[in-house]
C-alpha cells in the first residue's frame, strides 16, 4: 500500500470516529448500524421514523437470502471506504418463501455475526402488537384491517408516517412486551413455522437507546 493510500485510509477512519463522537448522547458513542430490509419502502419508512443519524437503512426488494447477501455487499463496500458498522441487521419476513431460503438466511446471517429481525409471517404483525396480543396466524389483509381500525384511517403499506401514527395511537412498550412474550411461547423455537412471531422488538430496543 502506497503512502497516499495509507493516508486516505487513516483519514477515512478518523472521519468515522469523529462522526460517532458527534452523534453520541450524554458523552456516549452511538453504534454505526446498517439495517437492510426485505421491503423497499414499508420497513425502511418505519425505521427512518426513529430519525437517528447513526443508521444506514437500505431496502432490498428480495427474499431473505437476498437481504443477507445485500448486507454483506454493503458492509464490504463501506469497509473499503473506511466505514465500519458496529451492528448489521437483516430485516425480513417469512411470507411464502421456501424454508431453505428463510432458514438459509438465518444461518448465513449468524455466520457473518449479523443480527436478524424476522417476522412470521409479515412485518405488520409488529404494528398490530402495539395494540393487542395476537397469537393466532391471520392473513395479510386481516393485518391491514386491524391496523386501519387502530390508526383510524385506511392503512397504506408504504405509509411514510406509519412510525408516528403508531407512536400516536399505539404503545411501543406494549408491542415489545407482547412480541417477546409471543416469541418465548414457542418451545423449542422454529422461526419458519412459529406463526405468528416477530423479533423486530430486539432491533427496536437497540434503537431506543438513542431515540428516547
The per-residue pLDDT for 122 is 95
How confident is residue 201, by pLDDT bands cut at 50, 70 and 90?
very high
Q: What is the CATH number of the domain that holds 139?
A: 3.40.50
Is residue 153 included in any domain, yes or no? yes
Residue 57: strand pairing partners: 35
Residue 9 domain flag: no
Q: 41 lies in a domain?
A: yes
- Specify if 12 maps to a domain: no
| Confidence category of residue 168, pLDDT binned at 50, 70, 90 | very high
Question: How would residue 140 be classed by pLDDT, with cut points 50, 70 and 90?
Answer: confident
The answer to the question of residue 39 being in a domain is yes
Total domains in the chain come to 1
Question: What is the per-residue pLDDT for 51?
Answer: 95
- Report yes or no on 21 lying in a domain: no
Range 51-86 burial, b when 16+ CB lie within 10 A, else e: ebebbebbbbebbbbbbbbbbbebbeebeeebbebe
Kindly report, residue by residue over 18-40, the tens digit of the pLDDT.
434 334 444 457 899 999 999 99
pLDDT tens, 94-129? 998 999 999 999 999 999 999 999 999 999 999 999
Domain annotation covers residue 80: yes
Under 8 Å between Cβ of 128 and 73: no
Q: Is residue 24 part of a domain?
A: no
Q: Three-state DSSP class for 206?
A: helix
**Structural domain that includes position 101:** 31-211
Q: Cell 429481525 appears where?
A: 117
Average pLDDT score over the chain: 89
Amino acid at each position: 500500500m502506497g503512502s497516499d493510500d495509507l493516508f486516505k485510509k487513516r483519514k477515512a477512519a478518523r472521519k468515522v470516529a469523529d462522526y460517532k463522537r458527534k452523534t453520541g448522547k450524554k458523552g456516549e458513542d452511538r453504534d454505526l448500524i446498517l439495517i437492510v430490509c426485505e421491503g423497499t419502502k414499508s420497513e425502511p419508512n418505519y425505521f427512518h421514523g426513529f430519525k437517528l443519524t447513526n443508521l444506514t437503512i437500505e431496502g432490498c426488494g428480495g427474499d431473505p437470502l437476498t437481504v443477507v447477501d445485500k448486507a454483506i455487499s454493503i458492509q464490504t463496500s463501506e469497509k473499503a471506504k473506511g466505514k465500519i458498522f458496529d451492528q448489521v441487521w437483516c430485516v425480513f419476513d417469512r411470507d411464502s418463501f421456501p424454508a431453505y431460503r428463510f432458514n438459509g438466511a438465518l444461518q448465513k446471517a449468524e455466520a457473518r455475526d449479523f443480527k436478524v429481525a424476522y417476522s412470521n409471517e409479515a412485518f405488520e404483525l409488529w404494528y398490530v402488537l402495539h395494540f393487542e396480543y395476537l397469537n393466532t396466524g391471520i392473513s395479510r389483509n386481516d393485518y391491514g384491517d386491524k391496523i386501519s381500525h387502530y390508526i383510524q384511517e385506511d392503512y397504506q403499506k408504504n405509509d411514510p408516517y406509519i412510525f408516528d401514527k403508531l407512536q400516536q395511537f399505539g404503545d411501543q412498550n406494549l408491542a415489545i412486551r407482547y412480541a417477546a412474550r409471543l416469541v418465548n411461547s414457542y418451545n423449542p423455537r422454529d422461526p419458519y413455522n412459529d406463526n405468528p412471531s416477530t423479533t423486530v422488538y430486539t432491533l427496536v430496543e437497540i434503537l431506543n437507546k438513542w431515540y428516547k
